[in-house]
Structure 1
Amino acid sequence: MAGDRKLRVLVGKPGLDGHDRGSRIIARTFRDAGFEVVYTGLHQTPEEIVLAAIQEDVDLIGLSSLAGAHLYLFERVAELLKEKGAEDIALIGGGIFPEEDVPKLKAIGYKEIFIPGETLDHIVDWVRDHVKPR
């Protein structure tokens, strides 16, 4: 039963971005907060991320991008979830990108976008308040 299980979160690094410190920190923070975490590691394609999310039956995908390809990669993940009938998996993102991209990402289905300066506690609290096990 969904109410009896921990929130399952996949943390992914799509594309060729080689900076993974932030995604590793958030994965560990989510784990320490009591979430079950699947960490895909670096250089994952949107297809690999979506396949892992479906196979692992996650409730939330959190993507990180620092290399400038976030609009394409994040949108592709959202498209693939819809194609696979898994659009009930919530999406969040984070990284370093222009503030004007935040509304674009929310318009394609991301529930929240976290930019530098957000505290880890705030991110965990936001997830607890807005994402429930499916």
Structure 2
Amino acid sequence: MSVEGRERTVRCLVAKVGLDGHDRGAHVIARAFRDAGFEVVYSGLHRAPEEIVQAAVQEDVDVLGISILSGAHNTLVPKVIDGLEEYGAFEDTLVLVGGIVPEDDVAELKDLGVAEVFGPGTPMAETIEFVRNNVPDRE
């Protein structure tokens, strides 16, 4: 269902998981999401997967955008997805990954349940449109 048909604002958590200390891209996407009319929560740096899951559940987000530049996506993203499943929140959460992810790893992340992986240089409009077209319906 598109955002236009929803009565409530799309809620997004932009998350920096693990030891990755580069957050410029996360700030850029958070601002672009806000400017697109989404409500945005930013996790801050150096969050454990469990902290990201807790924040996503407590904030009742529709979208979880995980920003990873450290190369630890194959370790950290599955932990986040497992945590969302444990809390029964995975089905209601659009999980996105942004950052530097080798093309060989994209299919594996999607098999885990990541809806899309956005690499450097992805046009912001493309990311926003993807969210609008794929955000889960909520009853």
Asked if these proteins are the same fold (TM beyond 0.5), I'd say: yes
The answer to whether 1:43 aligns with 2:43 is: no
Give the counterpart of 1:25 among 28, 44, 55: 28
TM-score when normalising by structure 2: 0.92
CA contact (8 A) 1:5 1:133 kept: no
**1:130 Cα shift?**
1.0
Read off the aligned partner of 1:110 and give its amino acid letter.
Answer: V
Distance in 2, Cα, partners of 1:104 & 1:24: 26
Question: How many residues are aligned here?
Answer: 133
Structure 2: stretches of 5+ with no match in the other structure: none
Read off the aligned partner of 2:98 and give its amino acid letter.
Answer: G
Counterpart of 1:97 in structure 2 is: 101
Counterpart of 2:72 in structure 1 is: 69
Q: Runs (4+) of structure 1 moved beyond 6 Å?
A: none
Distance in 2, Cα, partners of 1:20 & 1:64: 8
Give the counterpart of 1:109 among 107, 110, 113: 113
Counterpart of 2:126 in structure 1 is: 122
Identity %: 53
**1:116 Cα shift?**
1.5
Distance in 1, Cα, partners of 2:137 & 2:8: 7
